Each structure stands twice: as C-alpha cells, then as structure tokens.
Structure 1
Amino acid sequence: MIHISLSNANYLYIEIDGKIYPGEMESAVNQFLRLASDLTSGQLLYKIEHFSLPSLSAVAIKLRHLPELFKCIQKFDRAAVVTDKKWLQTVAELEGKLMPGLEIKGFDLDNFSAAEAWLAAS
C-alpha cells in the first residue's frame, strides 16, 4: 500500500506499508508527480512499515518514470525516512549524498515526532 498526501503547501507525506504492486506503483508515481508539480523548497516525510521489495513489474513502472522523478525531486530540500528497518535508513541517507540539494535523514518508527521536528527546523 502506498498513500501520498499533501500535508501543507510544501510538505508531502508518503506512507508505504507492505509489498507494492504495479497498479499501486503507477498510481503513486502519477499522484506524486501531480502533487509535487507546484512545490518549491519542498519536504518529504516517508513512513515505511512492513517493507517488502516491490514486484519486478512495479520496479519497471518506476524505472519508466525515472526522468520525470529525477526532475521532480529537485523541488525538495529535505526528506525524512521513518522506518523500522535500519538498512532502509542507511540506504536513504546514502541516496541523499548522491543527490545535490537534497538532505535525507533516517529515523526509527518510534521517533516520528523527531522526524517532523527535523523537517520543521529547516
């Protein structure tokens, strides 16, 4: 399951729970692109529980949209990744080092309020 919402003018909240299938991925990518289209200096808050690798078909859909997603991600300054998987936090933070202008920080699930505070402090 993927749920994406615009929490305020520059804040996208993305909740991922369980395995992601092609229809969900297509819908989520389109919704993300639509909601982020008018943002500047945006922030992302990901909450990831019960993570399971997406199906190969879902990955293919995301790869098909990579040019649009890379262009869109430039609209964001910070991203907090809240998850119970330490390795996801590490991968997210490494990804942030590869994307100029985007700072990514990982947080444990029980530190959701710390992630929100970190985003608000920017």
Structure 2
Amino acid sequence: MFTVEKVGSDRLDIEMSGKLDSEEMRSALDELLDKSADIQNGKMLFDIVEYHLPSLGAMGVELSRLPSMMRFIRKFDRAAVLSDTNWVKKVSEAEGFLIPGLDIKSFNRDQRDQAEAWLEGFGTDS
C-alpha cells in the first residue's frame, strides 16, 4: 500500500506498507508527481508502517522515471521518516547526505508530533 495526501500548500504525507509491484509503483509515482505539481520548498512526512523491498519490476519502473523523480525531490527541503525499524531509519537519514538540499530526519512511529514539529522548524535540532 502506498498513499499520498497533500497537507496544506507545501506538504505531502506518504504512508507505505507492504511490497509494491510494478503497477503499484507506477501509480504511486504518478500520484507523487501529481500532488507535488505546485509545491516549492516543501516538506514530506513518510509513515513507513511495514517495509518490504519493492519487486524487481517496481524497481525498474522507478529507475525508468529517475529524471522526473529528481525534479520531484528538488521541490522539497525536509523529509521526516516515521518507522520502528532501525535500518530503515538509518538508510533514510543516509539518503539525506546523498541528496543535496534535502534534510532527512527519522523518528519512531510514536513520535509523529515531534516529526511534524521538526518539519515546521520547531523543537528538535536539525
């Protein structure tokens, strides 16, 4: 499952659970691009309920859309990742070092309020 909700004019809330196949990946990427069309200096809140690596077909879809996904990611300044899986949190924060201009911070799933405060620039350190 992959859902995207636009919250205000500059934020996307994304929930991920389970394994994505190629059709679900195509639909998810379309939804991300559509809902982010008018966002600038945006924020994302990822809630990763239960993560499984996507299928090989889904990874192929993602790679084929790499140019549009690079344009997508440049629309955002901050991303908070909610997960109770340590390796997911560590990999998410490592991605922040690889994507210029995007600050990524991870939180436990029960720390949603802190994650939202961080996205808005309040509370915890950057």
Report the equivalent of 2:111. 111
Amino acid at match of 1:13: D
Q: Tell me which residue corresponds to 1:96.
A: 96
- 1:81 is matched with 81
TM-score, normalization by structure 1: 0.96
* In 1, Cα distance between equivalents of 2:93 and 2:119: 15
Give a deviation string over 1:73-122, Cα, whole Å, max 9, x none. Answer: 11100000101111111111111111111100011111111111111226
Count of residue pairs the alignment pairs up? 122
Structure 1 residues without counterparts, runs of 5 or longer: none
Instruction: Give the distance between the partners of 1:52 and 1:92, measured in 2 at CA.
Output: 14
Alignment partners' CA distance in 2, 1:28 and 1:115:
23
Deviation at 1:69, TM superposition (A): 0.4
Consecutive unaligned residues of structure 2, counting only runs of 5 or more, are none
**Residue in 2 that maps onto 1:17:** 17
Cα root mean square deviation, aligned:
1.0
CA distance in 1, matches of 2:24, 2:8: 23
The answer for the alignment partner of 1:49 in structure 2 is 49
Which residue in 1 is equivalent to 2:69?
A: 69
Moved over 2 A (4+): none
Task: Determine helix, strand or coil for the equivalent of 2:80.
Answer: strand
Query: 1:20 deviation in Å?
Result: 1.1
CA distances 1:12-33 after superposition (whole Å, capped 9, x unpaired): 0100011111111100101101
Q: Percent identity?
A: 41
Q: Secondary structure at the match of 1:50?
A: strand
Instruction: Tell me the amino acid that sits aligned with residue 87 of structure 2.
Output: W
